[in-house]
């Protein structure tokens, strides 16, 4: 799980650089914020799932579903906060950064 979160963070940085080259600073920040809307909830989920798995008896399905719900709620809250707080938002760059970070697991699938 840590490998996936670190890959998502690297993809977010790369997409931010590409957005900066294509659209300037506002596009770069929008793409990075979009990627972070995916990376941060996944990092919280991974840490909590790892901590739950270290308990005697392992992780239970209830904690998995609770933290999955929290991850989704945190993602929606971060997207809403980005839309409302960042005034120079480039929506296409933000959605591109979010989708790139979200789908970066494909690199891990084709790696083996």
User: In this predicted model, what pLDDT tens digit does every residue of 56-107 receive, in sequence order?
Assistant: 777 678 888 998 999 999 999 999 999 999 999 999 999 999 999 999 888 7
Q: Which of 43, 60, 50 is nearest to 101 (CA)?
A: 43
Q: What is the C-alpha separation between 95 and 93, in angstroms, rounded?
A: 6
Amino acid 112: pLDDT:
62
DSSP 8-state secondary structure symbol assigned to residue 34: H
User: In this predicted model, what pLDDT tens digit does every residue of 7-47 receive, in sequence order?
Assistant: 999 999 999 999 999 999 999 999 999 999 999 999 999 99
């Amino acid at each position: 799980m840590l490998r996936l979160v670190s890959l998502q963070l690297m993809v977010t940085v790369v997409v931010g650089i590409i957005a900066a080259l294509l659209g300037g600073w506002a596009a770069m920040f929008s793409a990075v914020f979009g990627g972070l809307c995916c990376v941060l909830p996944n990092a919280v989920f991974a840490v909590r799932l790892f901590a739950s798995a270290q308990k005697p008896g392992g992780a239970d399905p209830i904690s998995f579903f609770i933290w999955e719900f929290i991850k989704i709620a945190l993602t929606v809250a971060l997207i809403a906060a980005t839309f409302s707080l960042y005034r120079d938002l480039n929506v296409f760059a933000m959605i591109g950064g979010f989708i790139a970070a979200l789908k970066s697991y494909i690199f891990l699938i084709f790696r083996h």
